[in-house]
Amino acid sequence: MQTVIQKWGNSLGVRIPALYAREFDLKNGSAVEILEEEGRLVIVPKRDALEDLLSLVTEENRHASVETGSPAGREEW
C-alpha cells in the first residue's frame, strides 16, 4: 500500500491507513518505534512488556484484597 509523506510542523508525518490501524490496534496517541533496517524505515507498534508494567506497581498504588465470600459450588480456595 502506498501513502504520502506530509509536512507536520517542522517534521514530516506518515498517515497510517485505517486498515493497518485496525489490524495493529493503533489509536491516536499510540506509541510506535521507527527503525532503520537495511536502508528501509520500519514502523513497529510499541507494546509494553509485563515486567515493565509490573515495575510500576508500588505499595502506595496497590489495592487491598477483595473478599468474595464463601465458595458457591465445587471451587477449592
Quote the pLDDT of residue 77.
63
Q: What is the pLDDT of residues 14-27, one digit of tens each?
A: 999 999 999 999 99
Report the amino acid identity of residue 61. N
Q: Phi and psi (nearest 5°) for 22?
A: -70, -45
Quote the pLDDT of residue 72.
82
Question: Which residue in this structure is represented by grid cell 485496525?
Answer: 22
Element housing 34 (H / E): strand 32-37
- Domain 5-54, CATH class in plain words: mainly beta
Q: What is the pLDDT of residues 24-72, one digit of tens each?
A: 999 999 999 999 999 999 999 988 889 988 999 999 999 888 888 887 8
Quote the pLDDT of residue 21.
94
* pLDDT score of 10 more than 80: yes
